[in-house]
């Protein structure tokens, strides 16, 4: 087990190097000089300051000559390692790392609730579909989950705003749910837990629905596979009651791959949250990345992409390790 | 499946493709999908230009006297914030969306199959290197990278297609490699080698042709994903740029004016519904093709 984990850790290194290199090159191609861009909004800046900033960022050598891309990249990595992630251009007085930490809790709340809701709905439906394969229930929910997987997230988000905000507002004069933001700013009850929940309702619902569909299908096919296994037939043959066969033998084994799928889907949740957060103007890391990219906030965009890449890789690793824990056959190969 | 089995028994002399068609026809949702897709292609690529030729109204024709019009006989889906006909914009937008979906998926499968067949057939360090590279590409956070890539290059039609190819080939490569690995030690490949066929000929004719079932299914399913991808990026303003319409930027425009007093909800409903219906139809088609081309794959997923 130990060597397995160490080997998987070592495999992360080339991936990290490639991602950081790709991120760096893309942002250098995309934006103009990050130092000049960062200071552009500040009229008191002198050319000497720009040069100093460029030297600090490792874009030019101390005597003012531009460095080749590869040394710029190495300097950037060095700065990252020293904890110098650069300053944000859009969010005043924030380092790139600080900006991520500012928005991360919001994202975690949104994704946590969405994850919970989608599991609570998807797992029982998937189980029931598999147990009643080819029934009208199974057929209905298989078709529905197909539809759910074809739903564009941003359209679902917009339609939920229309149905729960715009139409009630036009008909009754007040919205059922807010169309965006995180709390009712300026109201005495802003930041109360119910105010936050009220604002979270639509984004959580949208994010949950987009993931529910896929999980229903995974759960269904996972259980179907197990139900056909020899040991389930044996359990039935030795005369166990059906409830015991399902609960003790089938279900427990069917949930094993679900753990892996769930772990692997968490980085994707960050990606899906990007669109949901943007439509609902919800201040999370996804929307932050979008604003940073559009606003050419060089340092924040690079830091955010690296952060997301790191999360992706870490959860891939966790999924592999979890899988090896629950299924010893994996470790051998 | 009992249905498919009877079809096989009734039609012993049919060719492979005849059997595929028989099985496909039995799949109601897949037939629904196929009809919708054909209908969409017809109205977008034929209907829209014909309408423009007859009435002189195209996707950019504005009528500022007639903004936010209700759906009517003249404007079936109403008009938008500049008095443009929403239906005609949706149809022209459909051309772009479907083109992006098809071109990107086809190109990605060509690239993916090439990498998959080379990795699988040649094996050794080539396989190792190609598959490690595939793993790395698969672990990249793709949506954030889409954003940055769309920014790095000028956003537009070919940029979108480039992005979808660059991030779309990995799954195909793995699938094709898997099929090739299972085929390459079979007798027909050995026979081809014995009569002196070159490696390229074996890969090109024998292995790729026998991977066709996987390739066709994967391409069809990718089209829907790419259409949603196009719409999402265009919605964020990083895809197809106005005045050229696409389903994504029509929705973006509608969302921008969502809270305008006279704005109707249908401005958001219709383009999204076309998008949803098209994506759903391609997915139904892909599912039906999977069952029809290779019934063994049916429960593999």
Using CA coordinates, name the residue in chain B closest to A26: B152
Using CA coordinates, name the residue in chain A closest to B280: A150
Note the pLDDT of residue B231.
92
Burial label, A333 (beta-carbon count in 10 A; 0-12, 13-18, 19+): exposed
- Please name the residues between 20 and 49 in chain B that touch chain A, using a CB distance below 8 Å: 29
Note the pLDDT of residue A159.
92
CB atoms within 10 A of CB A66: 12
Q: What is the pLDDT of residues A65-108, one digit of tens each?
A: 777 888 888 888 888 888 777 778 788 778 888 888 888 999 99
Tokens describing residue B23: 């099985």
Using CA coordinates, name the residue in chain B closest to A25: B152
Q: Which of B148, B228, B256, B286 to mutate to test the interface with A (most CBs of A within 10 A)?
A: B148
Q: Which residues of B touch A162 (CB under 8 A)?
A: 258, 265, 268-269
Highest mean pLDDT among A90-94, B68-72, B268-272: B268-272
Q: Which of A251, A250, A259 has the alpha carbon at shortest distance from A322?
A: A259
Q: What is the pLDDT of residues A105-138, one digit of tens each?
A: 999 999 999 999 999 999 999 999 998 888 899 9
Q: Which residues of A touch B224 (CB under 8 A)?
A: 150
Residue A277 has pLDDT above 70, yes or no: yes
Q: Which of A22, A31, A151, A158 to mutate to test the interface with B (most CBs of B within 10 A)?
A: A158
Q: Cβ distance B170 to B114 under 8 Å? A: no
Note the pLDDT of residue B223.
93
* Residue of A155, A296, A311 lying closest to B251 (CB–CB): A155
CB B269 to CB A162 under 8 A? yes
Tell me how close the Cα of B152 comes to any Cα of chain A, in angstroms: 4
Pairwise CA distance, residues B231 & B228, whole Å: 5
In sequence order, which residues have a C-beta less than 8 Å from that of residue A66 and are 6 or more positions away?
A59, A60
Residue A39 pLDDT grade (very low, low, confident, very high; cuts 50, 70, 90): low
Angle at CA of residue B170, ends A13 and A12, nearest 5°: 10
CB B299 to CB A294 under 8 A? no
* Residue of A14, A18, A305 lying closest to B148 (CB–CB): A305
Between A62 and B109, name the one with better pLDDT.
Answer: B109
Task: Give the ipTM.
Answer: 0.84
Q: Which of A23, A155, A287 to mutate to test the interface with B (most CBs of B within 10 A)?
A: A155
pLDDT above 70: percentage of residues in chain B: 91
Mean per-residue pLDDT, B181-207: 85
Mean per-residue pLDDT, B21-30: 85
Between B49 and A220, name the one with better pLDDT.
Answer: A220
- The shares of helix, strand and coil residues in chain A, as percent rounded to the nearest 5, are 75, 0, 25
CB A159 to CB B269 under 8 A? yes
Pairwise CA distance, residues A148 & A126, whole Å: 14
Using CA coordinates, name the residue in chain B closest to A143: B29
Using CA coordinates, name the residue in chain A closest to B231: A152
Mean per-residue pLDDT, A26-30: 72
Q: Cβ distance B274 to B247 under 8 Å? A: yes
Q: What is the pLDDT of residues A136-150, one digit of tens each?
A: 999 899 889 888 888
Pairwise CA distance, residues A196 & A207, whole Å: 17
Q: Which of B29, B143, B144 to mutate to test the interface with A (most CBs of A within 10 A)?
A: B144
Mean per-residue pLDDT, A167-176: 83
Using CA coordinates, name the residue in chain B closest to A277: B236
* Residue of B144, B265, B299 lying closest to A308 (CB–CB): B144
Burial label, A148 (beta-carbon count in 10 A; 0-12, 13-18, 19+): buried
Tell me how close the Cα of A199 comes to any Cα of chain B, in angstroms: 18
Using CA coordinates, name the residue in chain A closest to B228: A152
What is the overall mean pLDDT for chain A? 83
Mean per-residue pLDDT, B141-168: 84
- Range of weakest confidence among A171-180, A228-237, B170-179: A171-180
Q: Cβ distance B288 to B30 under 8 Å? A: yes
Q: Which residues of B touch A274 (CB under 8 A)?
A: 143-144, 147
Residue B80 has pLDDT above 80, yes or no: no
Give the length of chain A.
333
Phi, psi of B79 (to 5 degrees): -125, 160
Between A317 and B13, name the one with better pLDDT.
Answer: A317
What is the overall mean pLDDT for chain B? 83
Q: Which residues of A touch B255 (CB under 8 A)?
A: 158, 279
Q: Which of B269, B155, B173, B153 has the alpha carbon at shortest distance from B222?
A: B173
Residue A269 has pLDDT above 50, yes or no: yes
Q: What is the DSSP string of B76-122?
A: TT-B-TTS-BHHHHHHHHHHHHHHHHHHHHHHHHHHHHHHHHHHHHH
Is the CB of B148 inside 8 Å of chain A's CB atoms?
yes
Q: Cβ distance A30 to B155 under 8 Å? A: no
Between A184 and A142, name the one with better pLDDT.
Answer: A142
Residue B300 pLDDT grade (very low, low, confident, very high; cuts 50, 70, 90): very low
Q: Which residues of B touch A220 (CB under 8 A)?
A: none
Q: Which residues of B touch A8 (CB under 8 A)?
A: none
* Residue of A166, A221, A278 lying closest to B265 (CB–CB): A166
Report the b/e string of B168-199 with b at 16+ CB within 10 A: bbbbbbbbbbebbbebbeeeebeebeeeebee
Note the pLDDT of residue B17.
81
Q: Which residues of A touch B233 (CB under 8 A)?
A: none
DSSP state of B155: P
Task: Assign 3-class secondary structure to A197-216.
Answer: HHHHHHHHHHHHHHHHHHHH
Residue A232 pLDDT grade (very low, low, confident, very high; cuts 50, 70, 90): confident
Q: What is the pLDDT of residues B123-143, one digit of tens each?
A: 889 998 898 888 878 877 778
* Residue of A153, A275, A305 lying closest to B141 (CB–CB): A305
Cα dihedral across residues A268, A273, A274, A279: positive or negative? positive
Between A164 and A86, name the one with better pLDDT.
Answer: A164
Q: Which residues of B touch A146 (CB under 8 A)?
A: 29, 280, 283-284, 287
Tell me how close the Cα of B265 comes to any Cα of chain A, in angstroms: 7
């Amino acid at each position: 087990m130990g060597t397995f984990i160490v080997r998987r850790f070592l495999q992360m290194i080339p991936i990290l190097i490639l991602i950081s290199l790709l991120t760096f090159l893309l942002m250098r191609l995309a934006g103009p000089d990050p130092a000049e861009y960062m200071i552009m909004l500040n009229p008191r800046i002198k050319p000497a300051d720009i040069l100093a900033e460029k030297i600090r960022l490792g874009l030019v050598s101390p005597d003012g000559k531009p460095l080749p891309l590869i040394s710029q990249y190495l300097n950037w990595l060095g700065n990252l390692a020293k904890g110098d992630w650069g300053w944000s251009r859009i969010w005043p007085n924030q380092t790139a790392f600080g900006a991520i930490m500012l928005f991360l809790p919001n994202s975690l709340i949104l994704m946590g609730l969405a994850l919970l809701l989608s599991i609570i709905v998807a797992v029982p439906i998937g189980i029931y579909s598999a147990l009643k394969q080819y029934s009208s229930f199974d057929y209905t929910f298989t078709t529905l989950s197909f539809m759910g997987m074809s739903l564009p997230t941003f359209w679902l988000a917009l339609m939920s705003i229309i149905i729960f905000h715009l139409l009630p507002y036009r008909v009754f004069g007040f919205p059922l749910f807010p169309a965006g933001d995180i709390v009712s700013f300026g109201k005495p009850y802003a930041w109360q837990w119910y105010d936050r929940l009220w604002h979270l309702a639509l984004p959580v619902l949208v994010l949950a629905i987009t993931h529910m569909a896929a999980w229903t299908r995974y759960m269904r096919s996972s259980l179907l596979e197990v139900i056909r296994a020899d040991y389930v037939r044996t359990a039935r043959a030795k005369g166990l009651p059906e409830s015991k066969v399902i609960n003790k033998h089938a279900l427990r084994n069917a949930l094993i791959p679900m753990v892996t799928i769930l772990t692997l889907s968490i980085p994707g949740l960050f990606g899906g949250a990007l669109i949901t957060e943007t439509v609902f103007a919800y201040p999370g890391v996804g929307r932050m990345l979008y604003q940073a990219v559009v606003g050419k906030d060089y340092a924040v965009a690079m830091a955010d992409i690296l952060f997301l890449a790191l999360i992706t890789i870490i959860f891939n690793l966790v999924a592999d390790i979890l899988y090896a824990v629950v299924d010893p056959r994996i470790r051998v190969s | 499946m009992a249905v498919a089995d009877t079809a096989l028994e009734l039609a012993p002399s049919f060719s492979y493709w005849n059997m595929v068609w028989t099985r496909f026809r039995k799949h109601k949702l897949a037939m629904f999908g196929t009809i919708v897709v054909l209908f969409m292609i017809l109205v977008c690529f034929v209907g829209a230009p014909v309408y423009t030729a007859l009435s002189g109204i195209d996707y950019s024709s504005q009528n500022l006297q007639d903004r936010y019009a209700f759906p009517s006989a003249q404007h079936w889906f109403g008009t938008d914030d500049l008095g443009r006909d929403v239906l005609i914009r949706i149809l022209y937008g459909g051309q772009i969306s479907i083109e992006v979906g098809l071109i990107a998926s086809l190109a990605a499968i060509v690239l993916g199959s090439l990498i998959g067949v080379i990795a699988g057939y040649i094996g050794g360090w080539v396989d190792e290197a190609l598959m490690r590279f595939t793993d790395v590409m698969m672990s990249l956070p793709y949506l954030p990278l889409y954003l940055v890539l769309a920014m790095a290059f000028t956003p537009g039609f070919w940029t979108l297609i480039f992005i979808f190819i660059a991030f779309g080939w990995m799954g195909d490569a793995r699938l094709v490699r898997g099929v090739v690995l299972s085929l390459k030690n079979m007798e027909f490949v050995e026979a081809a080698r014995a009569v002196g066929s070159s490696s390229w000929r074996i890969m090109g004719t024998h292995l790729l042709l026998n991977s066709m079932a996987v390739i066709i299914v994967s391409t069809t399913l990718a089209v829907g994903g790419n259409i949603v991808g196009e719409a999402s990026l265009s919605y964020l303003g990083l895809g197809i740029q106005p005045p050229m319409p696409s389903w994504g930027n029509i929705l973006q425009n509608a969302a921008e004016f969502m809270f305008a007093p006279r704005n109707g909800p249908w401005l958001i409903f219709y383009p999204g519904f076309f998008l949803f219906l098209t994506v759903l139809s391609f997915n139904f088609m892909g599912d039906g093709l999977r069952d029809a081309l290779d019934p063994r794959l049916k429960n593999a997923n």
